[in-house]
Amino acid sequence: MSLRLYDTAARAVRDFTPLRAGRASVYVCGLTVQGPPHIGHVRSALVFDVMRRWLTAGGLEVTYVRNVTDIDDKILAKAAAAGVPWWAWAYEHERAVTRAYDVLGILPPTYEPRATGHVTDMVTLVERLVERGHAYAIGGDVYFDVRSFPGYGTLTGQRLDDLQPAADTDSDDRKRDPRDFALWKAHKDGEPATAAWPTPWGPGRPGWPLECSAMAGRYLGPEFDIHGGGLDLRFPHHENEQAQSRAAGDGFARYWLHNGWVTLGGEKMSKSLGNTALVDEVVEQVRPVELRYYLVAPHYRSTVEFTAGALEEAGVAYRRLESFVRRAAERVGSGCAAGGAAAGTAVLDPAFVAALDDDLRTSAAVAVVHDTVREGNSALADGDDARVADLLGSVRAMLGVLGLDPLDPQWASGGDDQRLTSVTDGLVALALEQRAAARARKDYASADAIRNQLGALGVQVEDTSQGTRWELT
Ligand SMILES: [Zn+2]
């Protein structure tokens, strides 16, 4: 495998060599389930879904963990404000997040641990840190002693003395260093009793970075290949994760990947700024597959400025690809056609492979798909069915890696929709037969009337040398 990835910790592109031959282990920080997801939230899951598919396409057996942070200050605060139990709030939004992932075709992770299900692992990790002299308890809180660990700051290339005090605690005066961050937070008056677990230091709840360190260790072992997350998680979240795990003696992540932000009006999309576009709202404006294309096509480290115009352009670009796939499949079939290869077995275009191997450069990979579709459209126009079948196989294989194959069951509607589709197909075919009959008897007025009525219903009819085609506009 010749995959190269930009490792944030090394601040360089590095050859990807998995820890265990033939396998890849990946941990991606999931969402804190505190509200309905906006498209900035899901970009991370989407870009790492593509990375996972690419690792799999490269022959690796991928173990992919994405957690659910279901206990957190924000969840407690929002649930209290709404007057509902914190766990009810968390479950409701976890379901909303899962729906958003599903609707965008993000493959379910191998494991999707909830933080609240792994408190024992977290307490064990804190105990290891206390034993090794990297953590200390004060009044039920347990802090990580940043000065005890020389590697603190290396992930983000910061010197300890330049860092601001940790912002995750109110009172600094009891800490050994103001930069010490909370591993464990003592239960406070006024917090729900259900949001506290017993520990040797008294009842309390975990700090956020501790959750990820413990869950990564639980499912991937002390050392694993890739840790992913949004750019904003680098510091302090990931710096703290790495410090905790390494100070405890674990190798932890070997590569760190961070995706860029989605901005709206030039600012990072964020609930607190009020500049968000919820996934539920956006998929009312465009089809989910078009939203996926919009978020997957730019390189994962670039910033995506969300605008209605750009979203619409992405939809148009995707429909160009889709139109070829549907027309070609209609002509030569979607499986193993004459001289062609099925999507699953087609050899990937070397330019596409090179693009994704170059730090997952999806922008270049998508350009290769568009080039291939242009060739495919020419082959369709030439009536070269063997060539059409080849190019269809190639396009579907490439789009499959990106999770964008229009013929994938994810995007083909099922059940009633499929029945409606077949009825529509039949009715349009009937109308076109009548139109052909009208033309055959030189009744052009009737033929045009049928065409116009279909057009008014959104069925665009096109006469080609290969016969009459139609598509929904
Ligand atoms: Zn995390």
Averaged over 75-84, what is the pLDDT? Answer: 96
CA 213 to ligand 1 centroid distance, Å? 7
Segment 172-230, tens digit of pLDDT: 688 999 999 999 999 999 999 999 999 999 999 999 999 999 999 999 999 999 999 99
For residue 380, report the distance from its CA to the centre of ligand 1, in Å. Answer: 48
8 Å CB contact between 425 and 436: no
The single-letter DSSP state of residue 29 is -
Q: How confident is the model at residue 345 (pLDDT cuts 50, 70, 90)?
A: low
Cα–Cα distance list, 386 to 328, 371, 400 (Å): 11, 18, 21
Contact between 368 and 395 under an 8 Å Cβ cutoff? The reply is: no
Number of CB atoms found within 10 A of residue 161's CB: 7
Spatial neighbors of 322 by CB under 8 A, at least 6 apart, are 289, 406
Cα of 198 from ligand 1 centre, angstroms: 23
Write the DSSP assignment of 235-258 as a string of letters.
IIIIHHHHHHHHHTT--EEEEEEE
- Rounded distance from Cα 335 to ligand 1 centre (Å): 41
Q: How far is the CA of 233 from the centre of ligand 1 (A)?
A: 7
CA of 237 to the centre of ligand 1 (A): 6
Q: Sketch the domain layout of the chain as residue ranges.
A: 4-259, 285-401, 417-472
pLDDT at 356: 98
Ligand 1 centroid, distance to 252 Cα (angstroms): 12
The per-residue pLDDT for range 34-58, each reduced to its tens digit, is 999 999 999 999 999 999 999 999 9
Each residue's pLDDT tens digit, 128-147: 999 999 999 999 999 999 99
CA distance 318 to 314: 6
Q: Please, which residues bridge with residue 262 across strands?
A: 304
**Computed from CA positions of residues 178, 180, 186, 189, in that sequence, does the dihedral angle turn out positive or negative?**
positive
Residue 322 CA, ligand 1 centroid: distance in Å: 36
DSSP characters over 120-155: HHHHHHHHHHHHTTSEEEETTEEEE-GGG-TTTTTT
> What is the Å distance from ligand 1's center to 129 Cα?
18
Tokens of 120: 């024992």
Determine the distance separating the centroid of ligand 1 and the alpha carbon of 372, expressed in angstroms: 39
Residue type, 155: L
Bond before 222 cis per omega within 30 degrees:
no
Q: Give yes or no for residue 465 having a pLDDT over 80.
A: no
Distance 212 CA to ligand 1 centre (A): 5
Res 340: pLDDT: 41
Q: State the chain's mean pLDDT as an integer.
A: 92
Q: Whole-angstrom Cα distance, residue 396 to residue 411? A: 13
Q: Would you tell me which CATH number, out of the four given (3.40.1390.10, 3.40.50.300, 2.102.10.10, 3.40.50.620), belongs to the domain 4-259? A: 3.40.50.620
pLDDT at 332: 94
The CB density around residue 88, as the number of other CB atoms within 10 Å, is 11
E-only strand ranges, 315-359: none
- Residue range 328-352: mean pLDDT, rounded: 72
Q: What is the CA angle 327-330-333, rounded to 5?
A: 125
Q: What is the pLDDT of residue 473?
A: 74
- Of 109, 29, 13, 80, the C-alpha closest to 301 is 13
Cα–ligand 1 centroid distance for 30 (angstroms): 7
130 contacts: CB under 8 Å, gap ≥ 6: 136, 137, 142
Q: Is the pLDDT of residue 265 over 90?
A: no
Give the Å distance between the CA of 209 and the centre of ligand 1: 6
Closest residue by Cα to residue 51 from 346, 280, 306, 255? 255
Q: Which two tokens stand for residue 108?
A: 């379910």
Instruction: Give the Å distance between the CA of 53 and the centre of ligand 1.
Output: 21
DSSP string, 51-102: HHHHHHHTT-EEEEEE-BB---HHHHHHHHHHTS-HHHHHHHHHHHHHHHHH
- As a whole number of angstroms, the distance between CA 151 and CA 373 comes to 50
- Are 66 and 30 in contact, with CB atoms under 8 Å apart? yes
Q: What is the pLDDT of residue 158?
A: 93
List of residues 6+ apart from 82 with CB closer than 8 A: 89
SS3 269: coil
